[in-house]
Structure 1
Amino acid sequence: MDSFYLFKTFFVCAVIFTFSVEATLGNIACENLNKDSCAFAVSSSGKRCVLEKNVRRSGKEVFVCSTSQIDTDQVTNWIESDRCLKACGLDRNVLGISSDSLLDSRFMQKLCSTQCYTGCPNIVDLYFNLAVGEGVYLPSLCQSEGDAKRRGMSEIRSSGNVAPGPTAPAKFMVDVSPAMAPSPIGPN
């Protein structure tokens, strides 16, 4: 009976080892991922995967997973877990990659929670880099409270470049169509 238990244990360990080696050696190409595993995934080259929506000529919407130009600092071959998506308040069906969610106080509360911030390094790395791109340091934003957090989020809102206004007053031209133009000969 002990040998059967030993064999069973060995068999289970061998199966687990086989699957873990396959998962480790497998390369993730964003273009091979489906809609349900694309968002927040990282390819084997360290590029982030992004879910995009294309509309075919027939009008049918098709979701496609593409490789973005955004590099990760530490993660490769990664498909984000449902546990982390839930802990961080994210949706698997999000299109593109944007820093807009950093403006949402409910999202920031989840992102800065202990479960997300310490347990989901891929997501924290993504939003850390997005915040830096907006001129905000994510750890400081997560540590701040109340008015200070709102000020940090307002820095994100005001970080966009705005084209300068006109330096001289604008002159508006009236649209004069040929039918309304005065006759070059003048009145008869």
Structure 2
Amino acid sequence: MAFSNQIMALALVLSLSLALPSTLAGVVCEDLHINRCAFAVSSTSKRCVLESMPQSGGKLVPAYQCKTSDVVVENISDHIETEACIRACGLERKTVGISSDSLMEPRFTQKLCSPLCSKNCPNIVDLYSNLASGEGVFLSDLCEKQLTNPRRAMISLLSSGEAAGPVSSDVEAVAPSPSP
């Protein structure tokens, strides 16, 4: 009887190891279910993104697939965002095409800047810090403005020029030509 229990336990371990190869190899975006894709980071530190698949056969329901993006995340790998962080930061799992537009929405920014999100969800904070930076805004400044004037926080920062945008090394300063 004890021998058959050992065989059953071994068979269970073997079947689980065969059924979950991506778990053993780390996070592979293409292997993730669409409900776990958005806000995940692969074992190679690249962000996973949810993409719409082309429709075929006249389907009315949207079809999605999880893909590996080219965006590399520093200091984070093998990470699938928790449901607690998704809720705390005001996000949705089936998010296609993450952009900085959401930073213009006061309710979203309020949740993103809340201590529950900002102190406990470094992956999400890193993502939106990079998106804000791409707009020439520092997320910390945006969160500070959110406390004082939530409705106009992002607009205020964008129009004030408080955060400088990215500078290209290809642009040369043009000096005025000397007058004759």
Aligned to 1:44: 43
Q: Which amino acid letter does the alignment assign opposite residue 124 of structure 1?
A: V
Would you say the 8 A contact 2:29–2:67 is kept in 1?
yes
Query: What is the CA RMSD across the aligned residues, in angstroms?
Result: 2.4
Q: Which amino acid letter does the alignment assign opposite residue 92 of structure 1?
A: R
Alignment partners' CA distance in 1, 2:107 and 2:152: 16
- TM-score normalised to structure 1 length: 0.66
Is 2:157 aligned against 1:152? yes
SS of the residue aligned with 2:70? strand
Structure 2 vs 1, CA of residues 151 and 78 (structure 1 numbering), >3 Å: closer, same or farther? same
Is 2:86 aligned against 1:85? yes
Alignment partners' CA distance in 1, 2:103 and 2:74: 20
Is 2:63 aligned against 1:73? no
Which aligned runs of 4 or more in structure 1 are off by greater than 6 angstroms?
none
What is the CA-CA distance between 1:59 and the residue it aligns to? 2.8
Identity of aligned residues (%): 48
What is the CA-CA distance between 1:57 and the residue it aligns to? 2.4
SS of the residue aligned with 1:73? coil
Alignment partners' CA distance in 1, 2:42 and 2:128: 17
- TM-score normalised to structure 2 length: 0.69
**Aligned runs of 1:97-136 on 2, under 5 Å?**
97-136=98-137
Aligned to 2:5: none
What is the CA-CA distance between 1:104 and the residue it aligns to? 0.7
Q: Which amino acid letter does the alignment assign opposite residue 100 of structure 1?
A: D
Gaps of 5+ in 2: 1-20, 166-180
What is the CA-CA distance between 1:97 and the residue it aligns to? 2.2
Would you say the 8 A contact 1:54–1:63 is kept in 2?
yes
Aligned to 2:143: 142
Q: What do residues 109-129 of structure 1 show as CA deviations (whole Å, max 9, x unaligned)?
A: 000000000000000000001
What is the CA-CA distance between 1:62 and the residue it aligns to? 1.8
Would you say the 8 A contact 1:40–1:123 is kept in 2?
yes
Structure 2 vs 1, CA of residues 154 and 108 (structure 1 numbering), >3 Å: closer, same or farther? farther
Gaps of 5+ in 1: 1-21, 160-188
Structure exhibiting the larger radius of gyration computed from Cα positions: 1
